[in-house]
């Protein structure tokens, strides 16, 4: 089966619409943003929006999917480069912290009161998926039962998610690499 190449115009339009959502979430909160707000900010028509996204939630989740793909690719590349080096327990954490730091206002809005239930649920699910993927790839965890894998994935994801939220709210003062080092050390215990 051949990989279909996506038209650059489609990617550009989807990116334009996604980028229009970001400042709206920061200023109004996700739940208060309307499709019309996005249309006005992106300067696109309603039919253009619906040609690419089912609704506002689909638009938001497409951004999570894009981030998830980038982090998964990073983890795979990192694994290939450092097969023998086992310095980090989870390879997704530093890139995600760096991304959150570069987009601090957005992450703070998404994971705080302005994010809405859907956003927080999907963000947590994304971290659980990243943790689970890395646990499954680790030979030390290969003998975990399905329930053990679920419990460990949720445990580590919950810890990371809590630390991330505290850091974004300013309750933890650290640079991304310092925070990652502390998270990695906690995971080694």
Distance CA 138, CA 86 (A): 10
Token couple for 75: 């983890």
The owner of tokens 């609704």 is 55
Q: What pTM was estimated for this model as a whole?
A: 0.77
Q: What is the pLDDT of residues 64-83, one digit of tens each?
A: 777 777 777 776 676 555 54
Determine the Cα angle at 100 with ends 22 and 106, to 5°.
Answer: 25
Domain coordinates of the chain in residue numbers? 55-188
Comparing 5-9, 93-97, 145-149, 162-166, which segment has the lowest mean pLDDT? 5-9
Q: What is the pLDDT of residues 18-70, one digit of tens each?
A: 999 989 988 988 889 999 999 999 999 999 999 999 999 899 888 777 777 77
């Amino acid at each position: 089966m051949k990989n279909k190449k996506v038209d650059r115009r489609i990617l550009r339009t989807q990116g334009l619409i996604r980028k229009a959502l970001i400042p709206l979430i920061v200023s109004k909160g996700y739940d208060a943003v309307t499709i019309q707000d996005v249309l006005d900010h992106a300067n696109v028509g309603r039919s253009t929006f619906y040609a690419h996204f089912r609704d506002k939630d689909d638009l938001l989740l497409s951004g999570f999917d894009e981030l998830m793909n980038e982090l998964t690719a990073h983890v795979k590349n990192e694994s290939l480069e450092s097969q023998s080096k086992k310095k980090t327990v989870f390879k997704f954490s530093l890139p995600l912290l760096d991304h959150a730091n570069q987009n601090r206002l957005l992450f703070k809005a998404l994971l705080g009161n302005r994010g809405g239930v859907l956003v927080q649920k999907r963000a947590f699910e994304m971290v659980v998926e990243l943790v689970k993927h890395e646990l499954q790839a680790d030979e030390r965890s290969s003998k975990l039962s399905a329930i053990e894998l679920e419990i460990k994935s949720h445990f580590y994801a919950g810890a990371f998610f809590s630390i991330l939220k505290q850091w974004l709210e300013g309750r933890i003062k650290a640079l991304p690499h310092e925070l990652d080092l502390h998270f990695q050390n906690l995971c080694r215990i």
